[in-house]
């Protein structure tokens, strides 16, 4: 995909696949979208998919499968115990990561539950580049605490740093020195760091972390859910690995780790999850949790069809022309938005395009949820559904005051191989129009506010009639266009 130059000089990612199954989409008129977002309590999680044109909420479980994945699903071996399908998946994971022990689980957070229950003693610390929501919850429930040791550039909204997901090695060494290695449960690195904009780590950084872990006898665990994007960035941006194949880079990453776990809703473009383990002793400790929470050891809560799709999807992840589609579409979208002065997180990462709401709607105070208001306004003017990643996604402090997020982001996920170029251009066009009219966007306030994970199903209303005014301006500028 990357290696095709256009005579015009334009930089356009060219898809190396064709579409053979399609799903019809609906684009409602803006007046109907106003009704839909009001009914959803201005929370994009509560929109019905039938009211959504482009679903950019997440890349989880919504990536397009290949014809080979679909074909494999037909040949699955349906059995509770000893399914041939599982052994095919097990072989593939052993072959890719070189670890001897494999446990299946129904999705990524299930792996986190099993790992945390097995390896964390109350009071222990888990250093990591950055947390993911479900990871942190499982660590905390099991009595652990999270220490984020991301490099400073990781939290800068605009940067030229290619590996914003790197861990600060000095901070890691200091933390171990101060607390003693016996108080560190394990070190966790997350590929394609989700909550800071899908930003990768460098393999050189992972090797340094491994060295610190080896010296201090601490386990290194990789969350490989977003590994495919990270592999792309290592191959294209880390000089030392330019000539290596994706398969070789994958193995070199795995060689640094003691345990690798993943959500197959992302890695492998299917649905499910798995834990790959180097030590037999740790495997024996974990496997009873699989039978307790997930299912038997040869399916772990997954359907055999999904396991077949995952096996093929994991192999397809070794193909640069498969894994480059996501990051290149995201880079295209980010570049187009920059041309139109829309504030976005740079450099473009994996997972999706992240709009900086703190700058986009800098007139909205954080207690009126700028990123949530932007997500609502963007759905209204485009039918595109994104996700709030800001203060709404935080939990209030114990005294009831707001915990303001470091970043206020509107995340526009790019499910892999799902959207066409003209759809991406449409998403850019509507966002650019909204940016020109940004002063019209107002804040939101909660009418129903759950105590835990309020962003999932909390309901809000606009603080004024700004949405009606935005609809009027849209009609004035676009006439009777959808």
Ligand X SMILES: Cc1ncc(COP(=O)(O)O)c(C=O)c1O
What does the binding site for ligand X look like in residue numbers (CB under 6 A)?
60, 107-109, 132, 134-135, 190, 194, 223, 225-226, 263, 265, 273
Pick between residue 34 and residue 111 the one whose CB is nearest to ligand X: 111
Active-site annotation holds for 296? no
Which helix (H) or strand (E) is 54 found in, with range?
A: strand 54-55
- Which one of the listed residues 101, 360, 426, 455 is annotated catalytic? 455
Q: Judged by CB, which is closer to ligand X: 37, or 310?
A: 310
Question: Least CB distance from residue 8 to ligand X, whole Å?
Answer: 37
- Report the residue number, 223 or 408, with the smaller CB distance to ligand X: 223
DSSP 399: T
Catalytic residue among 5, 67, 78, 133: 133
Of these residues, 223, 369, 378, 391, which one is catalytic? Answer: 223
For ligand X, the closer CB: 323 or 434 = 323
Residue 15, token pair as written in the block: 């898809």
Nearest to 56 by CA among 65, 68, 45: 45
CB of 69 to ligand X, least distance (A): 17
Contact at 8 Å (CB) between 13 and 325? yes
As a whole number of angstroms, the distance between CA 76 and CA 30 comes to 45
Asked whether 223 and 183 are in contact (CB, 8 A), the reply is no
* Cα–Cα dist 96/227, whole Å: 12
399 annotated active-site: no
Q: Catalytic residue at 133?
A: yes
Catalytic residue selected from 92, 164, 265, 266? 266
- Choosing from 20, 48, 50, 80, the catalytic residue is 80
Question: Active site includes 291?
Answer: no
- Single out the catalytic residue among 92, 271, 389, 430: 389
Residue 300 CB, nearest approach to ligand X (Å): 12
Active-site residue 88, yes or no? Answer: no
Q: Which residues of 221-255 are buried (b: 16+ CB within 10 A; e: fewer)?
A: bbbbbbbbbbbbbbbeebeebeebebeebbeebbe
Q: Is 460 helix (H, G, I), strand (E, B) or coil?
A: strand
Cα angle: 371, vertex 373, 376; to 5 degrees: 110
To ligand X, the closest distance from the beta carbon of 317 in angstroms equals 15
Given the complex with ligand X, which of 134 and 159 has the nearer CB atom?
134
**Is 91 tagged catalytic?**
no
Closest-approach residue to ligand X (CB): 108
List the structure tokens of 140.
Answer: 């905390």
Least Å distance, CB 104 to ligand X, is 13
Torsion of CA 299, 259, 247, 313, to 10 degrees: 20
DSSP E strands: which ranges in 207-282?
220-223, 259-263, 273-277
**The two three-digit tokens of residue 274, written as one number:** 């798995």
The answer to whether residue 223 is catalytic is: yes
Q: Are strands 145-148 and 125-128 parallel, antiparallel or unpaired?
A: parallel
Report, in Å, the least distance between residue 351 CB and ligand X: 8
Least distance from ligand X to the Cβ atom of residue 270, Å: 11
Distance (Å, rounded) from C-alpha 252 to C-alpha 317? 15
Comparison of 228 and 346: residue with beta carbon closer to ligand X: 228
Q: CB nearer to ligand X: give 342 or 405.
A: 405
For residue 119, the surrounding DSSP H or E stretch is: helix 108-119
| Beta-bridge mates of residue 448 | 459
d(CA 442, CA 459): 16
Cβ atoms of 330 and 1 within 8 Å: the answer is no
Specify the residue, 83 or 107, whose C-beta has the smaller distance to ligand X. 107
Active site residues: 80, 132-133, 223, 266, 389, 455
């Amino acid at each position: 995909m990357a290696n095709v130059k256009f005579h015009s000089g334009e930089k356009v990612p060219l898809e190396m696949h064709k579409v053979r199954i399609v799903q019809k989409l609906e684009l409602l008129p803006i007046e109907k979208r106003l009704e839909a977002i009001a009914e959803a309590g201005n929370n994009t999680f509560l929109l019905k998919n039938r009211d959504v044109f482009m679903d950019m909420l997440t890349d989880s479980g919504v990536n397009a499968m290949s014809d080979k994945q679909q074909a494999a699903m037909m040949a699955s071996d349906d059995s509770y115990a000893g399914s041939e399908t599982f052994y095919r998946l097990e072989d593939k994971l052993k072959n890719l990561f070189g670890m001897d022990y494999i446990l299946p689980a129904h999705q990524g957070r299930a792996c986190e539950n099993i790992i945390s229950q097995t390896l964390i003693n109350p009071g222990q610390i888990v250093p990591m580049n950055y947390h993911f929501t479900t990871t942190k919850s499982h660590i905390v429930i099991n009595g652990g605490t999270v220490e984020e040791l991301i490099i400073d550039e990781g939290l800068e909204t605009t940067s030229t740093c290619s590996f914003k997901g790197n861990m600060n090695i000095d901070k890691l060494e200091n933390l171990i020195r101060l607390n003693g290695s016996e108080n560190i449960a394990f070190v966790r690195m997350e590929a394609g760091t989700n909550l800071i904009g899908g930003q990768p780590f460098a393999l050189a950084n992972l090797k340094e972390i491994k060295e610190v872990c080896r010296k201090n006898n601490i386990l290194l665990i990789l969350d490989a859910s977003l590994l495919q994007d990270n592999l792309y960035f290592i191959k294209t941006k880390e000089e030392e690995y330019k000539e290596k194949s994706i398969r070789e880079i994958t193995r070199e990453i795995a060689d640094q780790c003691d345990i690798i776990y993943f959500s197959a809703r992302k890695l492998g473009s299917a649905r499910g999850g798995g834990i790959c383990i180097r030590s037999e002793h740790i495997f024996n400790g974990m496997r009873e949790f699989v039978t307790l929470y997930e299912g038997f050891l040869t399916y772990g809560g997954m359907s055999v069809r999904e396991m077949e799709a995952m096996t093929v999807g994991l192999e397809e992840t070794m193909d640069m022309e498969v894994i480059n589609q996501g990051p290149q579409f995201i880079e295209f979208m980010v570049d187009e938005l920059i041309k139109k002065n829309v504030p976005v997180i740079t450099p473009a990462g994996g997972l999706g395009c992240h709009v900086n709401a703190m700058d986009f709607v800098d007139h909205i105070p954080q207690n009126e949820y700028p990123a949530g208001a932007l997500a609502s306004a963007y759905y209204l003017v485009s039918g595109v559904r994104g996700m709030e990643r800001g203060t709404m996604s935080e939990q209030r402090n114990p005294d009831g005051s707001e915990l303001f997020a470091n970043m206020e982001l509107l995340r526009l996920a790019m499910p892999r191989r799902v959207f066409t170029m003209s759809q991406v251009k449409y998403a850019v066009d509507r966002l650019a129009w909204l940016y020109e009219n940004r002063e019209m966007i107002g804040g939101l306030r909660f009418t129903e506010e759950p105590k835990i994970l309020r962003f999932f199903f909390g309901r809000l209303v606009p603080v004024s009639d700004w949405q009606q005014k935005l609809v009027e301006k849209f009609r004035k500028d676009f006439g009777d266009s959808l």
